[in-house]
Structure 1
């Protein structure tokens, strides 16, 4: 399946399979820093019908969202601004963003923070990604962890269909894309993993089944000894409290990283209980890893909360 519409405007009318490739007339000036460019992109998205985005994200009940402006936005869609190509679930949620010139770079802060699992397990044998989306984490792991097997799980076939636009790796012995609901996959699939990365969202936010105690228990069960469960939480911080409580009940001790940009909180939960974490030791590991990984791992080691 290919994108149904290619347009150079920012109108809200999209037809066909549910995808459109949109290019803004407002092209970013050359020479901007990466931070300025991604901030300009996020500000541009935020400025498109701001009231509708706020209502969709924080105020409207699900039943209203399903019927409100149904013809105005058929999500997900691919959106371009300058060097940034993004995958949007709706105007309230940017599922993925990619630099067209450097597609393997982790553009969004929270994706870099999720890779802080490397501080505890630098060379995992296997990684599962629940919520493949635009494949940012999958691409990074595929490039920088060449001995690691990766499974990406995605519930939306339309998102899988545009994988080529985001340079998601082709199927191989090391990489597999699985079309499945994330909850069903972790409950039914019998394989194990060293790392489980959960970044699953739909147009309403984080699906309840991916925030349930049953899901957390199933993920802990499928982790190998020494395994790590990593989840991206995105919303008002007070809304994270029930999920954090469930993860503590299931895993015991957890570590968190608050991402400065946006409302993301990254949680690291460990298969093994009663672990002792040494910040100085993590800083030494981070400095070593930064020789091969273009990530601010030392900063993450300093900012981890436990």
Structure 2
């Protein structure tokens, strides 16, 4: 019997695949949703996962973070290890993915981490002005689910953020333009930044509710000062790249 999401939608089973030292999460053979290196379980192996965490340029010391989509938990593990002052809530709609959390060495729930089985759109709609940072990377076997592709969902993302909060979302799809336009409608055209992944087909989109960081050396210094050395090293290139995109945006006269 196929697993069901919290709204009753049938899902493909979540499968674990072991290849050498790597553990992968798959819904369809040959299509990897998440990957973990056994000797370094909280390492961010995939470029876009590091780019998304450049949202720290907006919020160097977030107190409350939400993730939509657990997957193999690489970002959740990274945040839990390196941002000890942050409380992280993760909403995942696939019970089979949550059932694999030990295989992916995702820590048990504690005072700083809670993993919830729920529909991501429904979960966010009930949490107004709750988060400093929101990371959206929810995918099923067919790509970005319909429930995470509506104007109402993007409005809920905006409303779930506190003043000055920031959203980072991963877009891996044939036509990202409609998703970007919905974000611009919800957040304002001047409050959206699209960053291409050079070695992948993804785009990472940032959207925010306050002022954008300047992307200058002061912005970079603030975020570096907020992180331990290991996290700085892992994210340094992503900070530089997103800061450069922010400076270019400012130079072109965007608000």
TM-score (norm 2): 0.84
Gap runs ≥5 in structure 1: 1-15, 19-65, 67-73
Q: Answer 1 or 2: higher relative contact order, Cα 8 Å, separation at least 6.
A: 2
Contact 2:58 2:212 in 1 (8 A): no
Residue of structure 2 equivalent to 1:135: 73
**CA deviations over 1:28-80 (Å, ceiling 9, x no partner):** xxxxxxxxxxxxxxxxxxxxxxxxxxxxxxxxxxxxxx9xxxxxxx6421112
List runs of 5+ in structure 2 lacking aligned partners: 4-9, 250-255
Q: Which residue number in structure 2 is paired with residue 247 of structure 1?
A: 183
Deviation at 1:230, TM superposition (A): 1.1
CA distance change for structure 1 residues 234 and 118 in 2, over 3 Å: closer, same or farther?
same
Contact 1:286 1:298 in 2 (8 A): no
Q: Report if aligned partners of 1:110, 1:264 keep a CA contact under 8 Å in 2.
A: yes
Q: Are the aligned partners of 1:286 and 1:301 in contact in 2 as well (CA < 8 Å)?
A: no
1:82 and 2:28 matched: no
**Separation of aligned partners in 2, 1:168 and 1:96:** 13
Distance 1:276 1:106 in 2: 25
Q: CA deviation at 1:135?
A: 0.7
Give a deviation string over 1:80-119, Cα, whole Å, max 9, x none: 2122111112246421111110001101111011110111
Task: Tell me how far apart the structure 2 counterparts of residues 131 and 178 of structure 1 sit (CA, whole Å).
Answer: 10
Cα 1:286/1:222, change in 2 over 3 Å: closer
Aligned partner of 1:301 in structure 2 is 243
Q: Which residue of 2 aligns with 1:162?
A: 100
Kept after mapping to 1: 8 A contact 2:128/2:159 = no
> In structure 2, which of residues 199, 215, 220 is the aligned counterpart of residue 279 of structure 1?
215
Choose which of 213, 221, 225 in structure 1 pairs with 2:159: 221
Moved more, 166-175 or 285-294: 285-294
Between the two proteins, the alignment pairs up a number of residues equal to: 233
**8 A Cα contact 1:75 1:203, kept in partner:** no
Q: Which structure: larger Rg?
A: 1
Q: What TM-score, normalized to structure 1?
A: 0.70
> 1:287, CA displacement in angstroms?
5.4
Paired residues of 2:215 and 2:244 also in contact (CA < 8 A)? yes
What is the aligned counterpart of 1:187 among 125, 149, 161? 125
* 1:211 positional shift: 1.5
Q: Deviations over 1:122-154 (max 9, x none)?
A: 110011000111111110000000010001111
